[in-house]
């Protein structure tokens, strides 16, 4: 099982804190919020979830 960040677009403020904290730089911003540009580089660390000020991210099993 792999866990990847899942975005709730309605909560996202587009602050980009999640992108800044990601240790593998696998997130990028688009109009509706952050998205995984390289899903295979995500190490499921959860840092993006922890730093999000509006609880817009969660780790979800895929």
Binding site for ligand SF4 (CB under 6 A): 5, 7, 12-18, 21-24, 26-27, 33-34, 42-48, 51-54, 56-57
Whether 19 and 57 have beta carbons less than 8 Å apart is answered as no
d(CA 16, CA 53): 10
Query: Coil, strand or helix: which one is 20?
Result: helix
Report the nearest approach of ligand SF4 to the CB of residue 58 (Å).
10
Q: What does the alpha-carbon distance between residue 16 and residue 60 come to, in Å, rounded to a whole number? A: 20
Minimal distance, residue 20 CB to ligand SF4, in Å? 9
Minimum gap (Å) between residue 1 Cβ and ligand SF4: 14
């Amino acid at each position: 099982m792999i866990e990847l960040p899942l975005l709730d677009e309605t909560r996202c403020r587009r602050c980009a804190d999640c992108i800044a904290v990601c240790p593998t730089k696998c997130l990028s911003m688009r109009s509706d919020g952050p998205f995984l540009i390289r899903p295979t580089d995500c190490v499921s660390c959860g840092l993006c979830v922890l730093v999000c000020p509006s609880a817009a991210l969660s780790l979800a099993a895929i």
